[in-house]
A and B are shown apart, each in its own frame.
Chain A
Amino acid sequence: MCATVNITFAGLGGQGVLTATDVLAAALFTQGYDVKKSEVHGMSQRGGSVSSEVRFGEAVASPMIPDGESDYLVVTDMTQIEVNLAKLKEGGVLITPDDFDWSSLSNKKALNIALLGRLSTYFNIPEEVWMRAIASELPEKIHEVNFAAFKLGASSRQP
């Protein structure tokens, strides 16, 4: 039985945190994993801190990641590292906007998907699966910019 893998995605309201984990979960779901995704909507979205948690494996029980058990912490905003660091397990991977050069992104709002691309280098999932997930979760007119953002993040690190 494969162990559950935990990913925390965090940022500020409006930075696409929930969208990024929608794409992530959609990709994992098509790979046949049991997947759970948890977040809080509503008041917290009004510009405040937002985080979303994705867990996948053979059988996932709780939708929420216990503190100190997140294998990956991805932040869209540097200020949100400290807020969420307690989630990350010892030796876990932290991914931030400072990890790679994303100045060539034609639309800076696609940073969330670029960070997802960077995260994808840790998983053995073919690129076309990610592209399909982006296409299924995002409106058509922003597909191209997000495909490019994903590829930028994915090529920023050797798997």
Chain B
Amino acid sequence: MNKFFLSGNEAIAMAALDAGLTLGVGYPGTPSSEILDNVSKHGGDAEWAPNEKTALEVGAGVAFAKGNAIVTMKHVGLNVAADPLFTLAYITIPGGLVIVSADDPGMASSQNEQDNRRYAAAAGIMMLEPASSQQAYDLTVKAFELSREFHMPVILRVTTRVCHSKGVVIRPDARKDKPAASFTKNVQEQVMIPAFARKAHRRLRSQLHKLSEISNALAEVKERDNASFGIIANGISVMHAIEAAPDAAVFQTVMSYPPPIDKMREFAARFDKCYVVEEGDPVLEEYCLANGIKVEKRPEIYRFGELNVARVRRMLAGDTTPEPAPAPGKPPELCPGCPHRKSFEALRDLGCIVSGDIGCYTLGVLPPFSAIDSCVCMGASITVALGMRHTLPENEARKVVSVIGDSTFWHTGVNGIVEMVYNRPATGHVVIILDNSTTAMTGMQENPGTGRKLDHTPAPGKLVIEDVVKAMGVDNVDVIDTTLENEKFRELLKKRLASNDLTVIIARRPCVLAMVKIKSYENAK
């Protein structure tokens, strides 16, 4: 039998392949990272792009050529990809384009808990939301069908618990072949100059109108004998609601944008009381209330964090008393032997103002290092520091250091070097690139600097950080192992901070967890 036990991410990968995937492309980010690894593992073509904007544009190109692309990223990745996203909504896409947005309510491994359902409405892009591994499979296949039928991109929104929970998946269909690729000129619908975009926007709105009907048709209701109230829910919250309220009928908005307004209205009208159970922003609640559908307002405390069965029970009971804090576990920390440790010890001892970035090394903020003073988003370490250098009095400006990982440097850090060379601070600047030769935090994926492709085989090209930053006009480029040459590193850092030069110090030493794997890839060559 075609029955598997899969995580949501594994199910998405399998479904994309079964739907005739041409290429999977994305940037690693918890909880989305395993999707492309699984595409590759099961024989599909998949690649890591340097960032999410790049990934989405490559995916769009695949679809312009009538292929099927899946583009994967975590929720904050869609911020990076928002520029192509909004205009792709206007474009008539000949192939299939499915964008996976993996949101992280509760911030298990993220810097914010933004709710990307807002993007679907803001851009005018249809959005599907699975509640289980089985639905992750089914709705990925559906997303490709809808994308090709309506010539529009589709966002598949998943959350941490859908991505990483495992469940039983029945796989109904045999794998489809990749669609035949060709190019058809269609400037009116594919070149977004204002004259064409004005028409395209109108076309988009009329398409969304048609899609409302499909949204109504896709919505599902779990009926209960003698249900005494109704619950409208999306994604994983559907599962919590089914378990928490055995005497409620549970409505699932399978397509959360455009929302199934007519069906929600019919459903809510059946009950004296109807609740909305959703994580994050009150999106469904607002759709209901704006359309005159009578639902109970959710107490504000349930907007924060993940939901679970216990929280849903409390919410339905109208309990707004403070929730019990979970028992504090052991917090994560930099691994024993982690090469970042020695770098942060030096930064702490020298009293630097450290502009940090996104990766394992963000843990440098915690004791015993306490050596990170800001962390905003991917690539911000360099640019935020430049702003500080421009503004602080000289004695403080001289202490400002940027700390960024190798993969994050290729992601958007490289733009910061452009800014640094072009708008040079009077005191110069020091950027430390912590090159541990892998994308460690998300599970040791490859990146443009490792010389290997997603499947760990040799890449046709390898980007060398020192060559790139030298060519960009940085005054000093130093490469050092801060563990083996710690004293030398401290002296070098002091010297560079005292000068008015632009400096990039590449602290190069492989991640202790990745070292064995990297050796095995090298030996396999």
Residues of A within 8 A of B (CB): 12-13, 25-26, 29, 34-49, 51, 60-64, 66-67, 79-80, 82-86
Contacts and interface: CB of A to CB of B under 8 A. Distances in A.
A40 B308 contact: no
B167 A64 contact: no
Nearest to A29: B5
A40 B166 contact: no
Interface string B441-475: 11100000000000000000000000000000000
Given A40-B109, A64-B309, A48 B330 contact: yes
Interface string B241-257: 01110000000000000
B108 A66 contact: no
Contacts of B165: 36-39, 63-64
A39 B308 contact: no
A2 to B, nearest CB: 16
B332 A83 contact: no
Contacts of B480: none
Contacts of A42: 30-31, 108-109, 441-442
A43 B108 CA distance: 7
Q: Among B108, B332, B335, find the residue whose CB has the most chain A CB atoms closer than 10 A.
A: B332
Q: Among B160, B166, B442, find the residue whose CB has the most chain A CB atoms closer than 10 A.
A: B166
Contact of A25 (B166, B334, B443): B166
Contacts of B443: 41
A59 to B, nearest CB: 9
30 contacts: A25-B5, A29-B5, A35-B5, A35-B167, A36-B166, A38-B166, A40-B108, A41-B109, A42-B109, A43-B332, A45-B332, A46-B334, A46-B335, A46-B360, A47-B330, A48-B329, A49-B329, A49-B330, A51-B329, A61-B239, A61-B242, A62-B236, A62-B309, A63-B132, A63-B239, A64-B308, A67-B310, A79-B330, A80-B329, A83-B329
A66 B310 contact: yes
Q: Among A47, A61, A80, find the residue whose CB has the most chain B CB atoms closer than 10 A.
A: A61
Interface in B302-357: 308-310, 313, 326-336
A90 B165 CA distance: 26
Contacts of A82: 327
Contact of A62 (B164, B308, B326): B308
B161 interface: yes
B168 A29 contact: yes
Nearest to A77: B330
Contacts, number: 115
Given A48-B330, A66-B309, A43 B240 contact: no
Given A35-B167, A83-B329, 9 more contacts: A35-B168, A38-B166, A42-B30, A42-B441, A48-B330, A48-B332, A63-B236, A66-B313, A80-B329
B363 A46 contact: yes
A62 B330 contact: no
B327 A83 contact: yes
Nearest to A28: B5
Contacts of B244: 62
A39 B164 contact: yes
Nearest to A33: B168
Contacts of B333: 46-48
Contacts of B332: 13, 43-48
A29 B242 CA distance: 22
Contacts of B313: 66
A129 to B, nearest CB: 14
A64 to B, nearest CB: 5
Q: Among B108, B165, B309, B443, find the residue whose CB has the most chain A CB atoms closer than 10 A.
A: B165
Given A37-B165, A39-B164, A84-B327, A61 B109 contact: no
A63 B309 CA distance: 10
A20 B168 CA distance: 18
Interface in B213-236: 236
